[in-house]
Structure 1
Amino acid sequence: MSYTPILATLGLTSVLLMPPTSAQPREYPSEHGTLKVSQLVAGLEHPWSLTFLPDQQGVLVTERPGRLRLVSLQGELSEPIEGVPAVYARSQGGLLDVALSPEFASNRWVYLSYAEAGDGQYAGTTVGRGKLSADKRRLEGFEVIFRQLPKLSSGVHFGSRLVFDRDGYLFIALGENNQRSTAQDLDKLQGKVVRLHPDGKVPRDNPFVGQPGVRPEIWSYGHRNQQGAALNPWTGQLWTHEHGPRGGDEINIPRAGKNYGWPLATHGVNYSFLPIPEAQGKAVEGTEAPHYVWEKSPAISGMAFYDGERLTAWQGNLFVGALAGQALIRLELRGDQVVHEERLLEQLDARIRDVRQGPDGYLYVLTDEGNGQLLRLDLQPK
């Protein structure tokens, strides 16, 4: 049976010869049984993030060169969705995170973070939103709601992740553009978590509102390159993680007005193996210690709590992708404390860029490659 005419009428193209549900899942070991991995779609160019549309309408996936795609749950890949802004697609820059408005069912807002070129040689992280059309082929009325200023990146450390909390506030986790000292500068937006209303306005109760010379958007500061963020479903708190330099990747639970240390405090060193001149040590008075730290960097990206019913052995766990480490890291929690770590999918030999829990209770991961994949994970218990 040929699917091409049917898919063409929907603006979809299949990148697989057969629907993925007919393919035999690959099997990998885990501590709790056999991990079964099904390829939902392949042929993505450096995919960066995904989010699920409601009512099984599919998965939105960003590709770093600047494309937003819709993947059906049967594995069909759409043509690029129109209305996506131009991006600075160099080095680590490009189209990054995607998130839905908490009121998507009524307003259809889709939020994107991306690297945006400035007037000169530098770029910065920008966030905007557009309304997904009824046929899901375009974003309408796209508008910028936030710009990281000043623009200081020559192509690296943009961050960024987007998370809405239970009260509808938008948190944006940002990188410091590899301009270390800026993470401590409260008149700049590098190396910060910012908190905004969905339209980009600043909440009156942000911790630095009204302070002269301080950006009112700031929620927390002293961060390096944040590439993971998720809302804890049991406490409602924001968790983020960030790349250290050579060593010192860390998870934080950012609290209002707090300083998370970079570059004054770090568990890492320069890539030359020499100490970081600004750093005074792993603990510095007035800064918050990491909630969890990897002395040897797995190069973390993407993060998701699991509170589904399908993968019962993993209920209450936290999952983090690893790029250089080429693994999916599973963290067991007792309350907020990490009590055990397992590395999954190491045999896959792929960089894991993002991980999300699907509405069907499966885990989904993106592999960050020129021929990137969207994979669905199931667990056959022992």
Structure 2
Amino acid sequence: MTIARKTSAVFIALSLMWVYSPTVSKAIDADTDNQDAPAYELATLETRIAFPWSLAFLPNETMLVTSRSGTLWHIDEASAERTDVTPELPDLLADGQAGLFEVALSPSFARDRTVFLSWACGTLRANNTCLGKGFWNGSEITNFHVIFRASPDKRGNAHYGGRIAFLPDDSLLLTLGDGFDYREEAQRLGNHLGSVVRLEIDGTVPSDNPLISNPKAKPEIYTFGHRNVQGVAWHPQRQAVFVSEHGPRGGDEINLLRGGQNYGWPLVTGGVDYTGAKITPYQSLPGLTGPEYEWTPSIAPSGLMVYHGAMFTDWYGDFLVPALAAKKVVRLRYHDNQLTTEEVLFTELNARIRYITMHPETGALYLLTDHADGKIIKVTRN
């Protein structure tokens, strides 16, 4: 089945047995100063990657980095050498927001050497998000194959989600977008648009997925009612998974994921359409799960990490959110299970920041800038 139309603004009433109404911290032009920020140094490691999207550290002090244009790079930080190690990506579509997205290592990588990739697959007339995996042999990925393709196919080149995260039981979350022109589909359980799906690492459906007993729902769906989730992170102290989500004009969100819940898009939002038109009169409704934090105006949150390293110890447990439109990283302090004050970082780069991650041993931060000559920037404590 292919969706090949712009849907009209149809609101669908969905009832849930359990209602969650969190306290929302809303940031409006909350660019606070950095007087309490630790001194840091920025070092540019690479400047030749077209629109870098994701980075994963290998055990031998090298890294894998994706380029949205469709290339997977193997980079040695010490020697600055880089090698194209892109496996065959079936039906890769690289156009607009479409392309190669996330690279993620299996939680058991030391044993199974498995690498996961997500990408836009199909044609401009019929495409969606694909997930695949293969074996890293030290120099290339072998036996790469597709384990999941979101459905149905749709037109266009926007809103794919594409982020990957692993839960403590080693099941996998893949974030998906609403396809931009198909926002009402995010409220329909018979497709994957506007959802987060949960899979076993072989691509099969976990038997305890929250909607698996609903014959009208795609069994892979973990949560739904999302616009375009491009950040996902496990919080080890809270034992919970959080996502960052693009709103339209305003209404960017941090959400705490609870299996089976409806996060409201487009029935509720703090933003308006790009034309300035109102999408909905509601910012909350009974039965819909609201955000933990919200930005209006938009910052365009394109990733999410929870800091738990040894280098910036005063940031431990806090959220770091890279932003495209706002050209910064936002640090959100996490205290007593709430996101509180906001601190702005790395504005001196004057760059759209696509991604932030942490070296698992040193605690140093690595940033990816969203440009045709995209950079890898290493952040260390001064």
Aligned positions of 1:183-262 closer than 5 A: 183-262=186-265
Alignment gaps of 5+ in structure 1: 1-27
Aligned to 2:76: 72
Tell me: higher relative CO, structure 1 or 2? Use CA pairs within 8 A at least 6 residues apart. Answer: 2
Identity %: 39
Residue by residue over 1:274-293, the C-alpha shift from the partner in whole angstroms, topping out at 9 and shown as x without a partner, is: 101xx241001110111111
**Among candidates 80, 87, 91, match of residue 83 of structure 1:** 87
Q: Against the structure 1 CA distance between its residues 70 and 320, is the aligned structure 2 distance closer, same or farther, given a 3 Å change threshold?
A: same
User: Structure 1 residue 36: deviation in Å?
Assistant: 1.0
Q: Against the structure 1 CA distance between its residues 283 and 49, is the aligned structure 2 distance closer, same or farther, given a 3 Å change threshold?
A: same
Alpha-carbon contact 1:39-1:374 (below 8 Å) kept: yes
* 3-state SS of 2:69 partner: coil
Q: Does 2:96 align with 1:94?
A: no
User: Structure 1 residue 77: deviation in Å?
Assistant: 3.6
Aligned to 2:129: 125
Q: Does 2:37 align with 1:32?
A: yes
**Among candidates 49, 53, 61, match of residue 54 of structure 2:** 49
Query: Aligned equivalents of 1:213 and 1:336: distance in 2?
Result: 35
Aligned to 2:65: 61
Query: Aligned equivalents of 1:230 and 1:84: distance in 2?
Result: 28
Aligned positions of 1:138-153 closer than 5 A: 138-153=140-155
Query: Aligned equivalents of 2:50 and 2:188: distance in 1?
Result: 35
Query: Aligned equivalents of 1:112 and 1:131: distance in 2?
Result: 11
User: Structure 1 residue 200: deviation in Å?
Assistant: 0.6
Aligned to 1:318: 319
User: Structure 1 residue 153: deviation in Å?
Assistant: 4.2
Aligned to 2:111: 106
Q: Give the TM-score normalised by structure 1.
A: 0.88
Aligned to 2:160: 158
Give 2:134's aligned amino acid: G
Say how many residue pairs are matched.
Answer: 347
Q: Which runs of 4+ in 1 moved over 4 A?
A: none
* 3-state SS of 2:84 partner: coil
**Among candidates 361, 364, 375, match of residue 362 of structure 1:** 364
* 3-state SS of 1:79 partner: strand
Query: Aligned equivalents of 2:345 and 2:86: distance in 1?
Result: 36
Structural RMSD (CA): 1.5
Query: Aligned equivalents of 1:67 and 1:336: distance in 2?
Result: 39
Query: Aligned equivalents of 2:219 and 2:253: distance in 1?
Result: 25
Q: Give the TM-score normalised by structure 2.
A: 0.88
Give 2:187's aligned amino acid: Q
